Structure 1
Amino acid sequence: MTRSLQGKVALVTGAGHGIGRASARLMAARGAIVAINDLKEEFVADCVADIKGLGGRAVPVAVNVATREGMREAVARTRETGGRFDILVNNAAWVRYQAVADIAPETVDRMLVIGFKSVIWGIQAAVEAMDGKGGSIVNVASTAGLRSAANSVVYSGIKSGVMGITRAAAAELGAQRIRVNAVAPSAIPTEGTARHRSAERDAKRIAATPLGRLGTVDDIARAICYLASDESDFITGQTLAVDGGVTFSNL
Structure 2
Amino acid sequence: MGVNDLKQELVDDAVAAIEAAGGKAFPVVRNVATREGIAQAVRQAAEHGSRFDILVNNAAWVRYQHVPDIMPETLDRMLDIGFKAVVWGMQAAAEAMDGERGGAIVNVASTAALKSAPGSVVYSGIKAGVLGITRAAAAELGARGIRVNAVALRPCPPKAPSATATPNATPGASRARPWAGLGTVDDVAGAIAFLASDEARFITAQALVVDGGITFTTL
TM-score strictly above 0.5: yes
Number of the residue aligned with 1:50: 17
Q: Are residues 1:212 and 2:180 paired?
A: yes
Q: Could you give the per-residue CA deviations for residues 176-208 of structure 1, whole angstroms, max 9, x where no partner exists?
A: 0000000001243334xx2xx543xxx2x3232
Distance in 1 of aligned mates of 2:91 and 2:104: 13
C-alpha distance in 2 between matches for 1:189 and 1:122: 27
Residues 1:93 and 2:69 are matched in the alignment: no
Give the match for residue 225 of structure 1: 193
Where does residue 143 of structure 1 map in the other structure? 111
Q: Which stretches in structure 2 are left out of the alignment for 5+ residues?
A: 155-161
1:123 positional shift: 0.2
Q: 2:147 aligns with which of 171, 176, 179?
A: 179
The whole-number CA distance in structure 2 between the counterparts of 1:54 and 1:149 is 38
C-alpha distance in structure 2 between counterparts of 1:145 and 1:100, whole Å: 17
Aligned pairs for 1:224-243 (under 5 A) are 224-243=192-211
**Partner SS for 1:36:** strand
SS of residue paired to 1:213 = coil
2:213 — aligned with what? Answer: 245
The corresponding residue for 1:115 is: 82
Give the whole-Å Cα distance in 2 for the aligned partners of 1:244 and 1:47: 25
Q: Bigger CA drift: 228-237 or 54-63? A: 54-63
Q: Is the 8 A contact 2:177 2:218 kept in 1?
A: no
Q: CA deviation at 1:237?
A: 0.1
Q: Secondary structure at the match of 1:231?
A: helix
Q: RMSD of the alignment, in Å?
A: 1.2
Provide the rounded CA distance (Å) in 2 between the counterparts of 1:223 and 1:54: 18
Code of the aligned partner of 1:85: F
Greater RCO (Cα-Cα under 8 Å, separation 6 or more):
1
CA shift at 1:72, angstroms? 0.5
Give the structure 2 partner of residue 127 of structure 1.
Answer: 94
What secondary structure does 1:159 align onto? Answer: helix
Structure 2 counterparts to residues 13-24 of structure 1, below 5 A: none
Quickly say closer, same or farther: Cα 1:234–1:87, change in 2 above 3 A: same
Tell me the secondary structure at the aligned position of residue 25 of structure 2: strand
* Sequence identity (%): 65
Q: 2:71 aligned with 1:71, yes or no?
A: no
**CA distance in structure 2 between the aligned counterparts of 1:155 and 1:70, rounded to whole angstroms:** 23
2:106 match: secondary structure: strand
TM-superposed CA distance for 1:163, in Å, is 0.3
Report the alpha carbon displacement of residue 146 of structure 1 after superposing the two structures with TM.
0.7
- TM-score normalised over the length of structure 1: 0.81
TM-score of the aligned structures, taking structure 2 as reference length: 0.92
2:158 is matched with: none
* Distance in 1 separating the partners of 2:165 and 2:110: 14
For residue 181 of structure 2, give the secondary structure of its aligned residue in structure 1. coil
The answer to whether the Cα contact below 8 Å between 2:57 and 2:106 also exists between their aligned partners in 1 is: yes
Tell me the amino acid that sits aligned with residue 82 of structure 1: G
